[in-house]
Amino acid sequence: MTAGVSKPGSASRVTLSQLMQPQFANLRGAVHGGWIMKLADEAGGLAAARHAQKPVVTVAIDQMSFHSPIRIGDLVILEAEVTFVGNSSLETRVQVTAEDPLTGVRTHTNTAYLVYVALDGRGRPTRVPRLVAETESESLRMARGERRQAERLARLKREAQEASA
């Protein structure tokens, strides 16, 4: 891939939907957070791979906030999009919504930021296309993603220093 290649975030956009079944829930009828994390990773990974056009691996679930429970019978809708790109890393934002399919009422339940690394044919990190904003809101999302990446790198550096002390 050439260094000058760039793609808009809209080219990576992915939407996944799944009906929540009893096997995904706890005894109180709420879907397990781990199941939602799995779905978020799938949606985020697809968006990252779509942008990179390479295989990707998850390196971090940077943040995942649970706002409302998801119940058996809800349709879970996950919308993922690349929000920041480094050299070989990609951050995706995954928004999770629960919909009651009988009433159509939708509730924002979760937001997650996940980080992936694109791999070449030998399983080594490889460069990915730059990310270009098409709208003002995409520019803001990219700036926030850049700040989160700087925070992640600073945290990793601190952790490495603490481990070697």
Mean pLDDT (the chain) is: 93
Residue 11 to residue 20: CA distance in whole angstroms = 28
**Closest C-alpha to 40, from 63, 9, 8:** 63
Q: What's the one-letter identity of residue 51?
A: H
Model pLDDT for residues 85-143, shown as the tens digit of each residue: 999 999 999 999 999 999 999 999 999 999 999 999 999 999 999 999 999 998 999 99
Domains and CATH numbers, the chain: 6-164 (3.10.129.10)
**Closest C-alpha to 9, from 76, 70, 85:** 85
**Closest C-alpha to 99, from 113, 84, 109:** 109
Query: Token pair for residue 138?
Result: 């995409």
Model pLDDT for residues 66-81, shown as the tens digit of each residue: 999 999 999 999 999 9
- Proportion of the chain above pLDDT 90, given as a percent: 75
DSSP β-bridge partners for residue 75: 19, 99
Rounded CA Rg of the chain: 17
Model pLDDT for residues 12-31, shown as the tens digit of each residue: 999 999 999 999 999 888 99
Query: Token pair for residue 62?
Result: 């940077």
Dihedral sign computed on CA atoms, order 134, 109, 14, 45: positive
Label residue 4 by pLDDT band (50, 70, 90): low
Residue 124: per-residue pLDDT: 97
Whether residue 1 is predicted with pLDDT greater than 50 in this model: the reply is no
